[in-house]
Amino acid sequence: MRTLISGGTVLSSTGAHQADVLVDGETIAAVTAPGVFGADVKGTVDSVLDATGKYVMPGGIDAHTHMEMPFGGAFSHDTFATGTTAAAWGGTTTIIDFAVQKKGTSLLSTLDTWHGKADGNCAIDYGFHMIVSDVNDTSLKEMETCIDGGVTSFKMFMAYPGVFYSTDGEILRAMHKARETGSTIMMHAENGIAIDELAAQAVAEGRTDPVQHGLTRPPELEGEATSRAIALAKVTGSPLYIVHLSAAQALAEVAQARDTGQNVFAETCPQYLYLSIEDMAKPGFEGAKYVASPPLRDKSHQADLWRGLRTNDLSVVSTDHCPFCFKDQKELGRADFRAIPNGMPGVEHRMDLLHQGVVAGEISLARWVEACSTTPARMFGLYPRKGVIAPGSDADVVIYDPAARQTLSAETHHMNVDYSAYEGFELTGRVETVLSRGSIVVSADGFTGSTGHGRFLSRDLCQYLN
């Protein structure tokens, strides 16, 4: 299969230029000045896609998703099949999902289980991070085998005591191993011990509605945990990647560490850029739709997060896609907000929502591509196979119409969840065509991919450090 994408504006992390792109099989064969390919080449391709007036960009890489994740007494409602299909609709061609170690089980059996869930079921390529919730001699040793198997990053939790929580000592031990192996520790930085106490007090006082989830997880406790994680990383010499950063206090800690030359990186998510604690305060249990951790913050944090994206103190945007249905899953916490499964849907809308940042003048086109594709590729060892339109790279390509209009709604989205966190949002720009390794998977004809197409990506170490 050979495809010529002609007349478009090719985007990269450094800018935009007019170019034609020739795709041969699964990879990009050439990127040339417009019109260089004449009738001779056009005669040899199977199809020509006219991208006049459109962006031609590397497919999105969502480095933080949770498909069919067991959590809070429920399973996140997208399977690898439905979630990766929804991702493709939104111009994301790679996800990195989390294998979840349960206390008392091994990392290697966990990884086997997650391969079993995903293999043969994904519409786009996928990799795994490993959630480490049981730090002991065996699991520390198994980190090495995970790395050999292409799982080069490990998420730990300072939140959720009794579930995923690790003590500072356990974090220190895992960071030593990360330092030794060149792998990356990803941190859920919220002070879970203090939060659980605040939540228990709220319930004891009869405050049980969804907004209490936000009020009992104040931004100071994200700032404090972020500061502590940075200190532990400094002491051990381990690099650190803060996941789903939501609060100005946490951003300030990351910025300060980076200013002093420490290898600290952070991601934020669209929900923290566009939604707020006011959504969690909606009446009639509606707020449960927005319960995730860290929680949505006061609107005043949003300007700081956009600034962080411009200054690269926030270098990645991922979704933390973890959808639970409003009707039969969020319902679990109607009497007590602590039982609301934590997480929100979003894998389909990240590229479009961040494009609004371009439209509004918050970030440049190059920064959009960098934060949503190129940097996650480099951060998690996938570059230049992914994250760039260049000869030899996988032909994961999105043709994006920057002028199209769309309205987000649960009626029309493809995620397997019964509500949209962005219901009624009117957006400028939309995905027109998506290629995954050279195959057209989304176009005007709809979804034309297949859920067996996606392949497991064995990842290298972080390419900013190794």
* Residues within the interface to ligand URP (CB under 6 A): 66, 188, 244, 292-293, 320, 322, 342-343
Please, which residue, 45 or 100, has the CB nearer to ligand URP? 100
Question: Angle, to 10 degrees, between the axis of helix 219-236 and the axis of helix 248-259?
Answer: 20
Stretch that binds Zn ion, among 180-188, 259-267, 334-342, 375-383 (CB under 5 A): 180-188
Integer Cα distance of 347 and 353 in angstroms: 11
Element (H, E) at 23: strand 15-24
Least separation in angstroms between residue 334's CB and Zn ion is 16
Point out the residue whose Cβ comes nearest to ligand URP: 342
Does 158 help bind Zn ion (rule: CB under 5 A)? no
Please work out, in degrees rounded to the nearest 5, the angle formed at the alpha carbon of residue 232 by the alpha carbons of 228 and 234: 115
Please spell the DSSP secondary structure of 149-194, one letter per residue.
Answer: TT--EEEEESSSTTTTB--HHHHHHHHHHHHHHT-EEEEE---HHH
User: Is there binding between residue 222 and Zn ion (CB under 5 A)?
Assistant: no
Rg of the chain on CA atoms, in Å: 21
328 binds Zn ion (CB under 5 A): yes
Inter-residue contact 28 to 60 (CB < 8 Å):
no
342 contacts which partner out of ligand URP, Zn ion, none, CB within 5 to 8 A by kind? ligand URP
Q: Is 78 in the site for Zn ion (CB under 5 A)?
A: no
Reduced to 3 states (helix: H, G, I; strand: E, B; else coil), residue 2 is strand
Cα(167)–Cα(390) distance, rounded to whole angstroms?
44
Instruction: Look at the alpha carbons of 357, 359, 363, 365 in this order and tell me if their dihedral is positive or negative.
Output: positive
- Residue 188 as a binder of Zn ion (CB under 5 A): the answer is yes
Contact 341, 73 (CB under 8 A): yes
- Least distance to Zn ion, CB of residue 328, Å: 5
Closest separation between CB of residue 96 and ligand URP, Å? Answer: 13
CB of 306 to ligand URP, least distance (A): 21
Residue 124 has φ and ψ, to the nearest 5°, of -135, 170
320 binds Zn ion (CB under 5 A): yes
Residue 163 near Zn ion by CB under 5 A: no
Binding Zn ion (rule: CB under 5 A), the pick from 107, 186, 325, 457 is 325
Using the contact rule CB under 5 A, the part of the chain among 6-14, 36-44, 323-331, 377-385 near Zn ion is: 323-331
Q: Which is nearer to ligand URP, 244 or 289 (CB)?
A: 244
Q: CB under 5 to 8 A by kind: which of ligand URP, Zn ion, none does 301 bind? A: none
Residue 291 has phi, psi (to 5 degrees) of -80, 115
Determine the interface stretch with Zn ion among 166-174, 182-190, 276-284, 350-358 (rule: CB under 5 A).
Answer: 182-190
- The footprint of Zn ion (CB under 5 A) covers 188, 320, 325, 328
